[in-house]
Structure 1
């Protein structure tokens, strides 16, 4: 019987996660801002492994979708008369 080694992607336990630096780079914020957001409970869910903060990509996307705003536009009132 021969044992086949799993593909490298299958052995990466952090597949689907990004670290804090990459999260900040993609959002365009500083690490300090990300730290403050976590303290204020305004950040996406995260995991701490050792001293490393990791974000699951799917959780970030869900978090962003939950903050999506719909623009409500009211019909403007018709103008009385025309411009002169």
Structure 2
């Protein structure tokens, strides 16, 4: 009996090691970020962590800041 196989189940996901490598940080840093809830959404399968590429991109976009906005919000409330 011949079966059709669809796309691989993990298409669009990267491992924790790949995510860390692309960020240029250690796996331990990624673990710490997750513990502090400063990481993108992830999936735990067994003991392995995976990140959906689109979720990581969305997470990065939400953290983008404009220099002028960031700078002006820091200077508010300061006595001159």
TM-score range, shorter chain: 0.7 to 0.9
Runs of 4+ in 1 over 2 A off after TM superposition: 2-7
Q: Which has the higher helix share?
A: 2
Aligned pair count? 70
Equivalent residue runs for 1:1-84 within 5 Å: 3=2, 5-6=4-5, 10=7, 12-72=8-68
- The CA distance in 2 between the partners of 1:28 and 1:62, in whole Å, is 19
Scaled by the length of structure 1, what TM-score is found? Answer: 0.76
Q: What is the alpha-carbon distance in structure 2 between the residues aligned to residue 37 and residue 4 of structure 1?
A: 42
Larger-gyration structure (1/2): 1
What CA RMSD, in Å, does the superposition of the two structures yield over aligned residues?
A: 2.0
Q: Which runs of 5+ in 2 are unaligned?
A: 73-80
Q: 1:71 offset after TM fit, Å?
A: 1.3
- How far apart are residue 3 of structure 1 and its match? 4.5
Q: Return the TM-score normalized by structure 2.
A: 0.79
Instruction: Report the more deviating stretch, 25-34 or 65-74.
Output: 65-74
> Which residues of structure 1 form unaligned runs of 5+?
75-84
